[in-house]
Each structure stands twice: as structure tokens, then as C-alpha cells.
Structure 1
Amino acid sequence: MRNCCLVTAVFLPIFELMSHDFPSFNEFNEDFEDLRDLLQQFENLKEGRSHSFLDEDSFEQIIDYYDEHDELNNAIQAAEMAIEQFPFSSQLLLKKSSLLIESKKYKEALDILEKAALLDSNDINLYILKTDVYLALNQHEKAARLIENHIDQFSGEDRTELLLELADVYDDWEEFEKVFDCLKMVLEHDPNNVEALHKICFWTEFTGRNEESIRLHNNIINEFPYNHLAWFNLGTAYQGLKLYEKAIDAYQYSVVIDEKFDYAYRNMGDAFIRLRKYNEAIEVLQKHLEIAKPEDVIYEAIGHCYERMHRYTQARYYYRKAVHLSPTDDKLYYKIAVAYMLEENWENAVKSLQSAIKINKQSAEYNMSMGGCLLELQRNKEALGFFMNAVRLRPSSINARLELIRGLYASQFYEEAIEQIEFAESKIGHKPVFIYYRAAILIATGKSKEGLIQLETALQMAPKLLKKMVELDPSVLQHPSVVDLIGQYRKKK
């Protein structure tokens, strides 16, 4: 789960603004005047003109001003002049090293940091800045060892910050198991740390360490039962183990604590879908839509639920809402087409498939579906074109080959159908389904004896695939010899 930030623009009436303890205009004006005065004094110092004494705090304000306004050269110059006056200030040395890192002067930055360490080795920023240098130089092992060797000298928030920094080092180093370990240590030390709770959710899924996550978050919940993120992470860990009922229970606790926790509704909806509880899934996904910005994936999921419930009109309604948000997503047009195909509404299915194929011409699946719809509309010549496209796009696909043979059979191009079977077998191998299709073609062309031999061979190889031949041509069961052969085979079995 990625960290999310909800930004809300609120326009308060004047009397409400006045009721808050905001700095007055005069205070803002005084601060601005003070800063302007400091900058002028610094300019005088640079030019060798008379100036008031600048103390350490004043220099820090000047350095920060130039840094914030992307005037790195001025910021570095201010830092250097400050250090000349205050050579034993570790804070000024750290500020200069930070500016050098921004300027990609890593060796100089390290030299400054070594001097700062002699003055104050207990400043957490010393180790964070050194880590930044090592990462910039692609020296991940040095960065990790630095933090590991000094972390025990820190406690409280500083220790938490260093552990999170170490997690980032391991992430950059692609030592993903150790990222999880660091975040676990953070939460054992600081169970309510929001950043760690957000991050460990993703890394639990990524590393598959769901059992550990369950133990960790149960411990947190036992101590802090109203931690909605801990309940959510517990749910995702259960969901990772496909324990969907337990996942739903955890998500429900999460939304009781924070009824506007949209991620919990989203995941709960997914868990209900996995359990095929589509009404419940729709209910929680609708709740997600009420409290969060509409998303195509949520509309698509609701459409999927209605499709599974055979309520195709509602399914298409939500798929179209998803399309409105994501008009270039070909998969959504295909889902609309499928909802029409399930109702045997071939004309409208073709229209939706045309939209999908216009966006993605390289989908064999779309081409096969279009061919199937056109075949149902008896537009056989057009259908064959799409089936041939599917074979060209996926020459190793059995389904694409079978659809082309089916199209040729329906068009009574029997010789071409046999040729395609032989060609498919040379590319893919001698599959039983091809033998069933060959049997059907031979029987349809009056070569019943040869067809029965092929059928018997196919029955011996894969009796369950008999339905494929029946789907190709149900009338094949009207041949007494075919029925007798199938009956004899079943008796033998």
C-alpha cells in the first residue's frame, strides 16, 4: 500500500479565520523585515562594507533562505563564511555538507562530515547525511554498516528515524527481506509509527512474510486496540494467506475505528469477491465510492460482481463508468463486449469489440471474440479474417487454431479446415482435440469410416474432450454409427 495524502481545500469565512490563532500581519511583516535586514548584512559582509555582527543563528537563517530559493552557490558561500567565524559549530558543518551533497560534491561533503563527527558524534543528522553520500556513491554496504554500528547509541524518535533510514538503504540495495526486518524492528520499538505501518503492508505482500506480519500486528493490537492501520495490515496478511473470512473481520474492525478508511473498504471488497459474496462486495465498494475519489478499478470491480450474478445490464453500467474515467483501457471495452456476448447480443458485442481492437490491435483474444460474434451473425468471411489475425498474433495458441478451424467448418471449407489441422499439428503437436475435429470433418464430408477411426482414437486418448466435437457440430450425434461407437466405448470403460 502506498502512502497517501488527502489534500482538502477549505475556504473559511472571515470570522472563522479570525478566531484561529494565526500570526498577525504585523508579525509576518516583522519577520520579513528581519530576514531582509540579515540578507543585507550578509551582502555587506561579502562586499567588505561595514555590517552588524552576525551570530550563528543568523547565519543559519541566511543559509536556509538561499537553500530554499535554490541559490546553492550563495548558500555554500554563506556556510563557508559562517564556519570561518564559528569553526567549532557542528551544525554549520552539517549544513555545509548537506549543500555539498546537493551539489554532488560527495568527497568534500564526507571530509566536512568527518570534522563534524569530531565535534558532535551524537547528532543523528551526521549519520543520515553520511548515508546519503554512500548511497549516492552506490556504496550500499558502507551505508548499512554505518547505521548498524551506531544505532544503539540512539533511542526514542532518533532510533526510529535511523531504522527507517536503514530500511530505505536496504530497499535501494534490493535487500528486500532486510527491509521487512527493519520495519518490524521499528514497530516493535514504536508500534504506532504511521510511516512504518504503511510501508510494512507493502513489504509483507512483496516478501510473502504473512505469518510474521500476523504475529506482529496481533501484538500491536493487543497493546493498542484502536490502531486502525494495524487492523488493516492484519487483514492484508490474512488475505495474503487466502484466509478471506479472517481478513474481512480485521478490515471491519479497521473501518469501525476509522469509518473513512477507503483502503480497508477496497480490500474488503476484494476479499468478498474471492469468497463469491458479490452482494456484500458491492455494498463495501459502494461505500468506498462515497468516501473516496471515484476510480476505474472500483467501478470495474462492481461491474465484475454484477456480471457474476448474471445481471449484465448493471455490469455494463459500471464498466461504462470505468471507461469514462479510463477511456483508453481496452480491457474495459472487452468486458462490456463479454457482458453482451453472455446475453447473445452479438451486434452490440461487435461494437464494443471494435472499440477494444481499435485501442489494442495485438490482442488475439479480442480477435477471436470478434470472429465468434461475426460467425453468430453469419458474417463468415469477416469472421475468418479475425480468426486468421488471432493465429498470426499467437501461433502457438491452441484456442486460436481451434477457432480458425471452427470458422472454416461453419463456412463448409472442409479441405481448408483439414489443412489447418495438419498445419496446427506441425506447429503445436498432435493434440486429441485436433483428432476430434478431424473426425467431425470427415463425417460431415461423408467419409464416415475414416471419421469413426479418428473418433475412436480420440476417445482412447481423451474421452472428456468429446464435448469439443459436439460443440463444433451437435448434429454429429444424429449419426447412429457415432452414437454406437460412443456407447461401446463407455461400456468398455
Structure 2
Amino acid sequence: MEFSRDDNNNLPLTKFESMLKTNHVLFFDSEEFENIIHHYLNQGKIALAKKAIKLGLDQHPTSINLRLFKVEIHVFEDKLVEADELLNELHSLDPTNEEIYIQKANIFSKKDDHEKAIEVLKKALQLTDDIVDLYSLIGMEYLFLDKFEEAKMYFMKCLESDIEDYSALYNIIYCFEFLDQTEDAIAYLNIFLDKNPYCEVAWHQLGKQYCILKDYKKALTAFDFAVISDDTFVGAYLERGKVLEQLKQFEEAIENYTITLKLDDPTSFALLRIGKCYEKLGNHDLALQYYDRTVHEDPLLDKGWIAITKFHNKKGNYQKALYYIKKAINIDAENVHYWKLYSQINHRLKFFEEAESGYKKTLELGNYELNTWLSRGDLLIKLGEPEAAIYNFEQAIEFYPENAEIEYRLAGLYFLLNESDKGTFHLKNGMKQNIDYAFILDELFPKVSNRVQVKNLLNPNL
């Protein structure tokens, strides 16, 4: 029995807490102690639960249930040897008590011996009529082993025994998704819904499966039924909004996101999506208002700051864009895309050193796109750092061998440093790969392109 502060069932709890304050020992029957301990464990008050167990065993030393609570505390505190010894003792006293097997399985699970845990739980199944929890525990152990088919089967058994066990339903869908069995998940959910047509969770999950298949019309229908089943289901409105965005029905999407703001506290996700929809509709003032509300609601949501960054970037307000991209990077400094956007904005503002530094960080984070190498190298040339530019392009050529754009840049740099042999080598490579990119020398190295040696290499027939 769970105690509540608002009913009359909490008398033993009140009496127990009064006893703790006065140090005057009072008598409780074993069931009262069990309820008190259960209450404290549910509340996460382990110290009080331990006190209740000790006092309970002082008064009822032979109570197996109270000793099982002691086992539970041992397991929680990772005292697995003590827990195991006590369980063996209890098993000899009551070999048909399924809770002993459950705690034994818990110890095996803690030791990562999930196969043994499953074996013990299956024995417990033969000792109890309360099979739903055991099916769930077995399913979880199979999940730990990445045996998703077996896990799925046991979670299905849970749902067969209790159609309102939504945690089992979620776990079943998780298994289907991990196994990439979208069509099977849809078939299962449709059968389930034939028997339980007003299960909003099942409709919601069905809609998400159709989204995976990009069948947005069927997804929308499923989310409609989820809302019909429960018109306060925030998740269904959010999913409807996302699908309506995919169908380019932005005004209807806004309506659904707005409903969620009225049903519950505003979420940064809904505010952000409303802003995106208004931007798609060309209503830039409202878009910016909602982006501002997004970051006000959740200042640590980097996607909100990025939305504002991109908004100002498109408008050509690069100073503002730079201010907001820095906010996003402060939240997620390991995001390659943010650093790339940071570099591009600095480049447009002619803050070349900052732009180069951003591209360098982008490369360090593993973004090896050709354009990143070229942009950084060109900035190093502009900044008068030819040696660093050469090092950059020689790294690039390892990823993009026989690339004319890189070869012409290396040629220009080596000629600039009066290393004619290396310059000639790279220029010939560039010409062999694509003569049309020779304009790179004129653009980046005008003094080099006017040299007689370079002109002769480019036009051997003159």
C-alpha cells in the first residue's frame, strides 16, 4: 500500500516518523513495516528505509519480506555478496517465494550475467500468478543481451496480459525499430488497434512508423485518431505539426503547435517549429518573435540560437548573425556545422583571422570537405602565411588526390616561395587533371601567373 499525505492510510507512517523524533519505540505489525519501507524506497529515501528495515527486523526477526527488503538495499548499494548470502538463506526457508528469485536475478543482472538472470526469472514464472512484471523483467534482460526478437516476444506477452501496459508497447516498438521492421510494426499496431481502437499511444506510434516510411498522409490520419482518442495528447499534436510541415501545410502546422502551448507549459521545440513555419510563410517578424521566445524559454537550446543566426545571415545582418552563432558554439563547441557557419559569417565580414581559425576547428572536428580545405588555405594565402597554406593543401591532397583545384594552389604557393621545381611539378599535375582551373593562378597569384616560366608552362606552343 502506498501512503498518501491526503488520506487516512498514512497513520502508521506518521506514527513511525513521530517515533524517530522521540526515540520512543512503538510496535508495528510486519505489514505496516513493509508499507513504510515501500513508501521510503519509492520516495528514494534510502536512509529512512534502512532505519525502518532495522526496526522492523528487531520486532519481526523471522519476516521473510522484511529480509527481502534488506536484500534490495544490499543490491542497491552494490553489496552483492551480502545480498547473495542472505538470499540463499531465505531460499532454504521459503523455496517457492518468487521475490527471492527476482532478487537473485537482479544480482545476476548487476554482474552482467543476463543469461543466468533470465534462467532464474523463468523459474520464478512457475511460482506466481503475477506474471506481467516477470515478463517485463525477462524482456529487459534480453534487451541487455541485444536479443531483440526474444525481448519483443516477452514484451508482447506483457501487453497480452495487460493491454494498458504502455511501457511494454513502447518497448515492443523499440525492438521493431532496432530490427528495422517498420512494416511488421505497422501490422502489429493495426492488429492491436483492432482490439483497442481508442488507445492513443498505439495510434501515436503507428503514425511515427508511417513517418519512417514517409507515408505522411497515413501518418496524419493516425495522429488524427490519437487526438480523437485523447484531445489533450500533446505528443500527437506535435507529431501532427511535423507531418503538416512535411506536407507544406504550414498554417495548419502552426495551429497544432499552438495547441500544445495551451495544453501544457510552452516547449522550446514547439516555439522553434512555429518560428520555422512563419519563416516559410514569409512572415519574418513573427518568425523572429518565436525564435526569440524559443531561446528565452530554453537559453541552452543551441538549435534556437542557430535558427536566429541563419535568419540574420539570410538577411545579410552578419554582425547579428555572428553574435548568435557564438551563443550556439558556447553551448555545443563540438558541432562541425556551427564552426563552419561561424567561419562563413566571419569571412563575409572580412574577419579573415577568425574565419581561418573557424575552418581550422572545423577540420580538427573531422569535417574534411574539399571546400573547407580550400577556404582555409585561401585565407592563409590572404593572411600572408604561405607555409601554413602549403601544409593545409598537402593535407588536403591526401583526401583528394589528383584534384586540380588543390594542385594549382600548391603550384602558385611554391612559385611564390621560389621553389620552382615543386611549383612546376604541381602545375603540370593541375594541367593534366583540368586545364580549365588554370584561372586560379590569375586570381590568387597574379604575380606568379605573369612569370615567363609559368606562362611557358601554361602555353607551351607560344
Q: Does 1:111 align with 2:88?
A: yes
Q: How does 1:363-374 map to 2 (within 5 A)?
A: 365-374=337-346
Of residues 161, 165, 168 in structure 1, which corresponds to 2:140?
168
2:161 is the counterpart of 1:189: yes
Segments of 5+ residues of structure 1 without an aligned counterpart are 1-21, 45-53, 85-91, 461-465, 474-493
1:244 is displaced (CA, Å) by 2.7
**2:352 aligned to which of 383, 388, 409:** 383
- Does 2:363 correspond to 1:394? yes
1:247 and 2:219 correspond = yes
Q: Which residue of 1 aligns with 2:70?
A: 99
CA contact (8 A) 2:237 2:259 kept: yes
The aligned residue for residue 318 of structure 1 is: 290
**Distance change in 2, residues 1:255/1:428 (3 Å):** same
Instruction: Note the alpha carbon deviations across 1:93-151, whole angstroms, 9 max, x for none.
Output: 13312313313421233224313544xx2x54344333333334443222211222443
1:332-369 CA deviation, whole Å, 9 max, x = no partner?
A: 32331211122223232233234334555665544543
Change (3 A) 1:374 1:229: closer
Q: What TM-score, normalized to structure 2? A: 0.71
3-state DSSP of counterpart to 2:325: helix
Q: Does 1:286 align with 2:270?
A: no
Q: State how far apart, in whole Å, the 1-side matches of 2:230 and 2:377 are.
A: 57
1:32-54 C-alpha deviation (Å, 9 max, x unpaired):
669989x99x958xxxxxxxxx8
Q: CA deviation at 1:243?
A: 2.7
Higher relative contact order (CA 8 A, sep 6+): 1
The answer to whether the 8 A contact 2:237-2:257 is kept is: yes
Shift of 1:197: 2.6
- Is the Cα–Cα contact under 8 Å of residues 402 and 429 in structure 2 kept in the other structure? no
Would you say the 8 A contact 1:368–1:403 is kept in 2? no
Which runs of structure 2 are paired with 1:3-402 in the superposition (5 Å)? 43=25, 58-62=29-33, 64-65=35-36, 68=40, 70=48, 72=50, 75-76=53-54, 78-79=56-57, 82-84=60-62, 92-103=63-74, 104=79, 105-118=82-95, 121=96, 124-151=98-125, 154-155=128-129, 158-359=130-331, 365-377=337-349, 379=350, 382-394=351-363, 396-402=368-374
Aligned CA distance change for structure 1 residues 270 and 75 (closer, same or farther; 3 Å): same
**CA spacing shift, 1:81–1:136, aligned 2, 3 Å:** farther
CA–CA separation in structure 1 for the residues paired with 2:134 and 2:358: 57
Are residues 200 and 268 of structure 1, via their aligned partners in 2, closer, same or farther at CA, if it must alter by over 3 Å? farther
Q: Which residue of 2 aligns with 1:477?
A: none
How much has 1:391 moved relative to structure 2?
2.6
Distance 1:389 1:169 in 2: 46
Deviation of 1:250 after TM superposition, in Å, equals 0.8
Is the contact made by 1:435 and 1:455 (CA closer than 8 Å) also made in structure 2?
Answer: no
What secondary structure sits across from 2:60 in the alignment? helix
Aligned-residue offset at 1:30: 9.5
| Aligned-pair CA distance for 1:276 | 4.2
CA 1:279/1:134 → structure 2, altered by over 3 Å: closer, same or farther? same
Give the direction of change, closer, same or farther, for the CA distance of 1:225–1:303 in structure 2 (3 Å limit): same
Distance, in Å, in 1 between the alignment partners of 2:385 and 2:136 is 69
* RMSD of aligned residue pairs (Cα, Å): 4.4
Identity of aligned residues (%): 21
Query: Does the residue aligned with 1:293 lie in a helix, a strand or coil?
Result: coil
Work out whether residues 357 and 367 of structure 1, in 8 Å CA contact, stay in contact via their aligned partners in 2.
yes
Q: List gaps (5 residues or longer) in structure 2.
A: 1-5, 41-46, 417-425, 445-462
Separation in 2, partners of 1:275, 1:431 = 43
CA contact (8 A) 1:228 1:254 kept: yes
Letter in 2 for 1:102: I
Q: SS of the residue aligned with 2:232?
A: coil
Q: Provide the C-alpha distance between the structure 1 equivalents of 2:346 and 2:127, rounded to a whole number of angstroms.
A: 74
Distance in 1 between residues matched to 2:17 and 2:383, nearest whole Å? 89
TM-score by length of structure 1 reads 0.67
1:224-275 residue CA offsets vs partner (Å, 9 max, x unmatched): 2111112112222222333332222111100111011111122223333344
8 Å CA contact retained: 2:272, 2:294: yes
Query: How many residues are aligned here?
Result: 407
Letter in structure 2 aligned against 1:317: Q
In the other structure, the counterpart of 2:423 is none
Q: Is residue 346–residue 352 contact of structure 2 (8 Å, CA) maintained in 1? A: yes
Q: Pick closer, same or farther for the CA change 1:61–1:406 going to 2, 3 Å.
A: same
- Cα deviation 1:287-306 (Å, max 9, x = unaligned): 22221222222222333334
User: Contact conserved, 1:110 with 1:133, CA < 8 A, in 2?
Assistant: no
Residues 341/311 of structure 1: CA separation in 2 closer, same or farther (3 Å cut): farther
| Alpha-carbon distance change, 341 to 132 in structure 1, aligned in 2, over 3 angstroms | same
Q: CA deviation at 1:451?
A: 9.9
